[in-house]
């Protein structure tokens, strides 16, 4: 039977939780279905909907991305706790390859930055202080929908990043209005640069970087890796 586990996300203070967030193990059938979704380039909405079946206690579209990744990490731990994560890292010092077995129970988790609260504001060139928030899961769905509605080229990653940036101001104004302000330059390029700096300065959760000693040059080095999707829910462990 499906057994649920309580989990505490690092950004817990940002939510109005009525009960603890709970997750359960992925079943073998779900795991295969998940891999099929990934192989078939499923939309954000399909992937999120899929993972949401495993979570209760919070509207997952309202989760901030670092907390969502933290939950994925917890799902990985509860579903495959005996199995290490095998990664092939290219050493940034000597360029040689290292096969690294990561003990996933030992990954570092960063707390939410003290500077980031529910009342964080950003100072826009023409509007002064307005509320800003970190990226939420629902932003991916909202971005896809908006680009489709506006017939924007969904393969244009720069434009997509702009839509994401604007979505962080959506506690101030709806996306349609924000887009219009960006179109006529009332929201300025400097504002966008500040929003992108805000994202860089405020992140938390599972640290997506692994430090190890390269077996070729013996130096201590770090490589980035993603706490998500196919690396994280593999079907084999070679």
Residues that bind Zn ion (CB under 5 A): 91, 93-94, 214, 216-217
Q: How far apart are CB 108 and Zn ion at their closest, in Å?
A: 22
Q: How far is the CB of 102 from Zn ion (least distance, A)?
A: 17
CB of 99 to Zn ion, least distance (A): 13
- Tell the smallest beta-carbon distance from residue 101 to Zn ion (Å): 17
Residues forming a β-bridge with 55: 23
| CB-based burial, 179-205: b 16+ in 10 Å, e otherwise | bebbeeeebeeebbebbeebbeebbbb
CB of 98 to Zn ion, least distance (A): 7
Overall size of the chain counted in residues: 238
Residue whose token pair is 């967030």:
21
Where helices occur in the chain by DSSP H, the ranges are 28-39, 44-52, 65-79, 137-149, 157-167, 175-183, 189-201, 229-232
Return the closest-CA partner of residue 122 out of 134, 110, 105, 111. 134
Nearer CB in complex with Zn ion: 33/216: 216
Backbone angles phi, psi at 90, to 5 degrees: -95, 120
Closest to Zn ion by CB, 88 vs 155, is: 88
CB of 83 to Zn ion, least distance (A): 26
Residue 63 vs 91, nearer CB to Zn ion: 91
Distance CA 110, CA 9 (A): 11
Nearer to Zn ion, 87 or 130 (CB): 87
Q: How far apart are CA 227 and CA 102, in angstroms?
A: 12
C-alpha to C-alpha distances, 206 to 13, 51, 83, 137, nearest whole angstrom: 17, 18, 18, 16
Nearer to Zn ion, 75 or 214 (CB): 214
Residue 3 or 220: the one with the smaller Cβ distance to Zn ion is 220
Nearest approach, Cβ of residue 224 and Zn ion (Å): 16
Task: Give the nearer residue to Zn ion in terms of CB position, either 176 or 211.
Answer: 211
């Amino acid at each position: 039977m499906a057994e649920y586990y309580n989990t505490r996300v690092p950004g817990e203070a940002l939510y109005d939780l009525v009960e603890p967030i709970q997750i359960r193990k992925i079943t073998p059938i779900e795991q295969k279905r998940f891999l099929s979704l990934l192989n078939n380039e499923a939309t954000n909405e399909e992937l999120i909907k899929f993972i949401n079946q495993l979570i209760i206690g919070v509207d997952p579209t309202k989760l901030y991305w670092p907390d969502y990744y933290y939950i994925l990490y917890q799902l990985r731990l509860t579903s495959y706790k005996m199995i290490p994560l095998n990664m092939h890292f290219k050493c940034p010092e000597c360029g040689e390859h290292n096969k690294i077995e990561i003990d996933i129970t030992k990954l570092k988790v960063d707390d939410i930055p003290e500077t980031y609260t529910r009342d964080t504001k950003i100072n826009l060139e023409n509007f002064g202080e307005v509320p800003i928030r970190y990226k939420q899961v629902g932003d991916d769905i909202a971005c896809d929908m908006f680009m489709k509605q506006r017939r924007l080229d969904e393969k244009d990653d720069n434009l997509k990043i702009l839509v994401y940036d604007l979505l962080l101001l959506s506690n101030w104004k709806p996306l349609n209005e924000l887009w219009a302000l960006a179109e006529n330059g009332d929201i300025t390029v400097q504002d966008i640069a500040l929003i992108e700096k805000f994202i860089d300065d405020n992140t938390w959760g599972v640290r997506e970087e692994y430090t190890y000693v390269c077996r070729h040059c013996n130096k201590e080095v770090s490589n980035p890796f993603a706490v998500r999707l196919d690396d994280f829910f593999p079907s084999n462990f070679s």
